């Protein structure tokens, strides 16, 4: 862990081995990261390989001006909570090139993350690139101005995802763009899920996190299910300004479907698959 350090650079071709196998079999809830950066300004991490983390591989929290380049994170597909890169409460982040194959999200974006650009990430296996989950705790900060471009996701549970708990305290997600990404054989290539309930212990109800201004542009590839686009939003706080343009997702060589609820969804242009919500 690095805490309250300015102008920190970490680089090299070495491997950080979390020896996570024995930990994965336990019931511990503690979030243990192989490399945690907290309250760091002007951070540069390059060429590091994290192997078999106990939970998160890299955790960036309450940091500003962060660049991660050519990061590698590897863990078995069935390893729990081994997110490749987890971001929280941080601003001005650049992830340029990464190879991530884990048992959870390749990249997960928590509350308070703003002005972030993610590009050229190879993801899979894993749960995809996710904003959330949000809405678990009171006082969560907004997530704003996120760009995910030119990434490749293969054999993932999800592709490009936004997820919030229901019910939830108020929150805001705005100005999100997924552009030029390739998603192959994902169970949910494009998904907004505002009824996220991973452990079936949720009380029911609706999310109070407002999702406003999300673009999916030139997202191409294949789905392992007939539904390629799922937009399942809160009945009390419907999603606003969701746009899809140049999307092309197939299932076994045939066009996929889109399923939408409680959302303002617009498909721009006729030459895309799917081209409308059912």
Residues forming the active site:
104, 127
With beta carbons less than 8 A apart as the criterion, state whether 178 and 148 touch: yes
Rounded-to-integer distance, Cα 258 and Cα 52, Å: 36
For residue 271, the number of C-alpha atoms closer than 13 Å in the C-beta half-sphere is 2
Rounded-to-integer distance, Cα 161 and Cα 134, Å: 12
Instruction: Assign 22 to helix, strand or coil.
Output: helix
Q: Using alpha carbons, select from 95, 51, 97 the residue that is nearest to residue 73.
A: 51
Buried b (16+ CB within 10 A) or exposed e, 182-197: bbbbbbbbbbbbbbbe
Rounded-to-integer distance, Cα 132 and Cα 65, Å: 21
Structure tokens at 132: 């959330």
Could you write out the DSSP letters of every residue in 53-94? Answer: -SS-SEEEES-EEEEEEEEEEE--TT-TT--SEEEES-EEEE
With beta carbons less than 8 A apart as the criterion, state whether 109 and 132 touch: yes
Q: Using alpha carbons, select from 254, 265, 140 the residue that is nearest to residue 273.
A: 254
């Amino acid at each position: 862990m690095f805490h309250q350090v300015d102008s920190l650079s970490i680089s090299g071709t070495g491997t950080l081995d979390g020896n996570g196998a024995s930990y994965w079999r336990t019931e511990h809830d503690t979030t243990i990261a192989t490399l945690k950066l907290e309250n760091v300004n002007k951070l540069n991490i390059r060429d590091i390989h994290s192997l078999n983390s106990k939970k998160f591989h890299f955790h960036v929290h309450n940091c500003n001006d962060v660049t991660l380049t050519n990061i590698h994170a590897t863990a078995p597909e069935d390893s729990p909570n081994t997110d490749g890169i987890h971001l929280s409460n941080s601003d001005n982040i650049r992830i340029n090139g990464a190879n991530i194959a884990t048992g959870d999200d390749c990249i997960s974006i928590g509350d308070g993350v703003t002005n972030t650009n993610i590009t050229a990430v190879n993801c899979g296996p894993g749960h995809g690139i996710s904003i959330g989950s949000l809405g678990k705790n009171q006082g969560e900060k907004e997530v704003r101005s996120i760009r995910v471009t030119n990434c490749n996701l293969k054999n993932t549970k999800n592709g490009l995802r936004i997820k919030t708990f229901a019910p939830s305290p108020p929150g805001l997600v705005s100005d999100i763009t997924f552009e030029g990404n390739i998603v192959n054989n994902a169970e949910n290539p494009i998904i907004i899920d505002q009824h996220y309930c991973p452990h079936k212990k949720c009380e029911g109800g609706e999310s109070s996190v407002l999702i406003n201004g999300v673009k999916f542009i030139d997202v191409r590839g294949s789905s392992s299910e007939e539904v390629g686009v799922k937009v399942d939003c809160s009945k009390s706080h419907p999603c606003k300004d969701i746009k899809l343009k140049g999307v092309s997702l197939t299932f076994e060589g045939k066009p996929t479907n889109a399923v939408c609820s409680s959302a303002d969804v617009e498909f721009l242009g006729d030459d895309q698959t799917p081209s409308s919500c059912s």
